Structure 1
Amino acid sequence: MTTWIHEQRLSTVYQAVLDSEARTVLDLGCGEGDLFLRLMHAPGVERLVGVDLSTEALDCLRARLAEQEKTPSAQIELIQASMIEPGPGLSGFDCAVLLETLEHLDPGRLSILETALFHKMRPASVIVTTPNADYNEFLGVPSHRFRHPDHRFEWGRRKFRSWAEGVAKRNDCSVVTRDLAGAHPFYGGVSQMAVFTKQSEAAAR
């Protein structure tokens, strides 16, 4: 069972993938597959690859896949790998998704991730979601703590927007940011999302 917040994240990102008109999708940091299990039945998606560093998470996803009654409409594959050290087989996809994975990286490695995403994997579009630290006060999370012990950072909306705009400028992309899972008048959403699109792809539409 997913919480309302997580359901909002999943449904919003799912729709963003559909809006991208992607036929091939990378689910980076796929974990136990909450998004993956939805995308494998998404209209128009012909190939779906899940990537995670955790063998335990991938084993759990494989078990969940084995329990599915409906045959996937997409060709699916799971790869145990780091998204900041991608192999050549992860390049050239239409869309890459990072659902609540960014904050698990050390901030000093974000530039490595940027290079991996936009110069090695080179998807036509990239969808990133991450917790909105502005909302933490509303959730009762103390200012000196993160929501999860494995988080390495959490950004407010201004910081996230600044990062996203910088990434877009450096990599010849357009970017749109938005609140995700609610829109409190002062705190925004529980999470936040950025959708990057290569300028060449945007011009073709």
Structure 2
Amino acid sequence: MLLTLTTTHQPATDLGHLLIKHPDRVHAFDVPVGTAHIFYPEADEQRCTAALLLDVDPLRLAAARGRGRGRQPTTTPDSFTLGRYVNDRPYAASSLLASALSKVYRSALRGESKARPELAGASIPLEVRVPVLRCRGGADVATRMFTPLGWTVTATAIPLDELHPEWGVSRYVDLTLTGTMRVADALNHLYVLLPVLDDAKHYWVAPDEVDKLLRAGAGWLADHPERALIVRRYLAHRRALAGQALERLAAQRPTDEPTADDGVDDAPAAEPAPRASLAARRREAVHAALVDAGAHRVLDLGCGGGALLATLIGDRRFTEIVGTDVSSQALTIAARRLRLDRLPERQRDRLRLRQSALTYRDDRLRGYDAAVLMEVVEHLDPPRLPALEDAVFGYARPGTVVVTTPNVEHNVRYEGLPAGAFRHADHRFEWTRAEFADWVRQVCASYGYTAALHGVGDEDPTVGAPTQLAVFTRI
């Protein structure tokens, strides 16, 4: 199996310093299932390619599997008797390749380079090629995994037989990734996602795999829109371990609402104290708006994993707080995050979690001082917005409604976000400032509210703030 990493950063041969493998040599490493080779098919100042070739010995692979017999994951695809010897492991990229990658590029995965420390921390143009990759779910799954990380993905399904296209495509893809990022980030993406796409780990998944996953996924996994699928597959569908990993990821996230602008926050400021993330600043702005409105009984509509609820419950001015979400799983995560079972009775009595859809009228949500729709409206198909407006502004009719949503004009300031792409794969739309203002005026005219508009985050003189906020006040 083969994986190549190419750069056109100049001098391109600096790739050897980042990988700590000299371009003029062929490097060989013994691994449990065979031998991993590193060599450079091209290496000059304009373009340099490092190839990782894993030569799998079927007998050693069978022996390795035999040593773990009785502890193998149930997802292994070659569990029939001869499958220990006759399988696609020597040819198709899989979890075997990820394990080899972690051994031969150990320092590069950590972002270390004694010879070029400044380059190790810099983003450079990269191209990754995996010509044969086992991909459960097809090319679309590969695209869903890598695109949110800033890669341009070309995933081509490999036919079962080129001479017989009518037979259809195989479970393998030819994968090419192009992007500008740190080499360490690229390698960690591959280390995690190759086994995920393979979805058939070759070794027993022990509890320490959770730590390995979170370490390799630091800085990107918590905000990945497919994080639940990634966690389940990486941990071989072991529910207890997956639940533990998701809970720890939820604690890392500024908010568990699936909003990709949490993943593309502005870089830290130059001041000694780190600047709060955009998600944290958004929660602060919403909290301030509720305090200014004098609200005591508050609804968090579409509360997700409960990030805003955690802020509100810490303020005794809010005597009743209700979080709603259409997803029961999100409410379960919120309950864990808030530690409802451990809260003092006085605090617990102030908080309720309820399953509810925002496009339907719900008698339980009437009579509250304020309601929050934080990064929610953009997840609805536009034809369903009138139903949300009716349910919230027309039927529940709180005294104050606070709405936040991304400012699509600001997207050009996010490196790695392709032109025309939304900040999150689940966004159905993102409004310009003028479009948001038009929607706000229409809601006010239809339901008897006035509104004030604000920006959240650093204000750009050309494209405005990254987040838009409206505070509606009932007339």
TM-score norm. by structure 2 comes to 0.40
Paired position in structure 2 for 1:203 = none
Q: Give the stretch that moved more between structures: 28-37 or 163-172.
A: 163-172
1:40–1:74 Cα contact (<8 Å) kept: no
2:362–2:391 Cα contact (<8 Å) kept: no
Deviation at 1:73, TM superposition (A): 7.8
Whole-angstrom distance in 1 between the partners of 2:457 and 2:342: 30
Cα root mean square deviation, aligned: 1.7
Deviation at 1:38, TM superposition (A): 0.8
Question: Is structure 2 residue 440 aligned with structure 1 residue 164?
Answer: yes
1:32–1:61 Cα contact (<8 Å) kept: yes
Question: Is structure 2 residue 399 aligned with structure 1 residue 95?
Answer: no
Query: Cα deviation per residue 1:139-193 (whole Å; 9 max; x = unaligned)?
Result: 1433331110000000011100111011111111110011111211111111100
1:18–1:43 Cα contact (<8 Å) kept: no
Q: Which runs of 5+ in 2 are unaligned?
A: 1-251, 255-264, 266-276
Whole-angstrom distance in 2 between the partners of 1:173 and 1:81: 24
Whole-angstrom distance in 2 between the partners of 1:9 and 1:74: 26
Paired position in structure 2 for 1:28 = 301
Paired position in structure 2 for 1:123 = 398
Q: 1:67 to 1:94 in 2, by over 3 A?
A: closer
Whole-angstrom distance in 1 between the partners of 2:442 and 2:428: 20
Whole-angstrom distance in 2 between the partners of 1:65 and 1:43: 16
Query: Cα deviation per residue 1:77-124 (whole Å; 9 max; x = unaligned)?
Result: 000110111321111110000000110000111111111011211100
**Matched residue SS, 2:460:** coil
1:100–1:131 Cα contact (<8 Å) kept: yes
Whole-angstrom distance in 1 between the partners of 2:281 and 2:349: 23
**Structural mapping, 1:1-205, within 5 Å:** 1=252, 2=254, 4-66=277-339, 71=344, 72=347, 75-140=350-415, 141-199=417-475
Deviation at 1:54, TM superposition (A): 0.8
Q: 1:6 to 1:73 in 2, by over 3 A?
A: same
Q: Which runs of 5+ in 1 are unaligned?
A: 200-205
Q: Give the stretch that moved more between structures: 69-78 or 144-153.
A: 69-78
Whole-angstrom distance in 2 between the partners of 1:16 and 1:57: 25
2:444–2:450 Cα contact (<8 Å) kept: yes
TM-score norm. by structure 1 comes to 0.92
The aligned amino acid for 1:39 is L
The aligned amino acid for 2:470 is A
Whole-angstrom distance in 2 between the partners of 1:122 and 1:175: 14
Q: 1:56 to 1:125 in 2, by over 3 A?
A: same
Identity of aligned residues (%): 37
Whole-angstrom distance in 2 between the partners of 1:67 and 1:6: 23
The aligned amino acid for 1:84 is T
Larger radius of gyration between Structure 1 and Structure 2: 2
